A and B are shown apart, each in its own frame.
Chain A
Amino acid sequence: DAGVIQSPRHEVTEMGQEVTLRCKPISGHDYLFWYRQTMMRGLELLIYFNNNVPIDDSGMPEDRFSAKMPNASFSTLKIQPSEPRDSAVYFCASSEYRVAYNEQFFGPGTRLTVL
């Protein structure tokens, strides 16, 4: 398996534009996670899905952020409109459900810069 795939790897956009980040989880994994990492706040969980259903979106910063998982092999994180403070590295991770042992596999991340 190629691991978790994220695209694009780098995105530079201007304030006010819509940004869409994409993630393909590892085949067979039933959990998908979106994280954001900044120097100031570290690594934060934004939202996670189980079997394509959002379970916890309490980490989503505001209504400008939305995430979808239309099927088991694809998820998007959308920011509309984007702001400079959204600049960060966004990671997607996936895992297979097991009680007590949960190894999340992270993608390479998307580095977002909002000018």
Chain B
Amino acid sequence: DAKTTQPPSMDCAEGRAANLPCNHSTISGNEYVYWYRQIHSQGPQYIIHGLKNNETNEMASLIITEDRKSSTLILPHATLRDTAVYYCIVRDGYGQNFVFGPGTRLSVLP
């Protein structure tokens, strides 16, 4: 079963920051938070992952609360091409498989 809770949908204006929340209140100490996204009809694509510290890469930033019970994925300047379903997944460092929940459908509006 998915260990995360995400809003089913969100809208964001093009050029603005998109902030996608995720609750993972039962996360354990050795579990990482991963984010993937799936653009219509394509396979999911890895975005970013983190354990405790905030992380940033060329695609996004990941903010994890101090108690690690929730996190936020930030797309700093959303474009129309960022319209997709975003999945937040919690998994330990040694596991290899992912359990995808329903995710958040982000619509970037012109």
Contacts and interface: CB of A to CB of B under 8 A. Distances in A.
B96 A31 contact: yes
A43 B100 contact: yes
Interface in A79-114: 89, 91, 93, 95, 97, 99-109
B43 A91 contact: yes
A93 to B, nearest CB: 7
B56 to A, nearest CB: 15
A43 B44 contact: yes
Interface in B62-98: 87, 91, 93-98
A26 to B, nearest CB: 13
B60 interface: no
Interface residues of B, number: 23
B95 to A, nearest CB: 8
A106 B94 CA distance: 20
A72 to B, nearest CB: 16
B45 interface: yes
Contact of A45 (B93, B98, B101): B98
Residue with the highest number of chain B CB atoms closer than 10 Å, among A97, A106, A108: A106
Interface string B22-55: 0000000000101000100111111001010000
A14 interface: no
A108 B43 contact: yes
A104 B98 contact: yes
B17 interface: no
Interface of B: 32, 34, 38, 41-46, 49, 51, 87, 91, 93-102
22 contacts: A31-B96, A42-B100, A42-B102, A45-B97, A48-B97, A56-B97, A95-B96, A97-B96, A99-B93, A99-B94, A100-B32, A100-B93, A101-B49, A102-B95, A102-B96, A104-B44, A104-B98, A105-B46, A106-B42, A106-B44, A106-B45, A109-B43
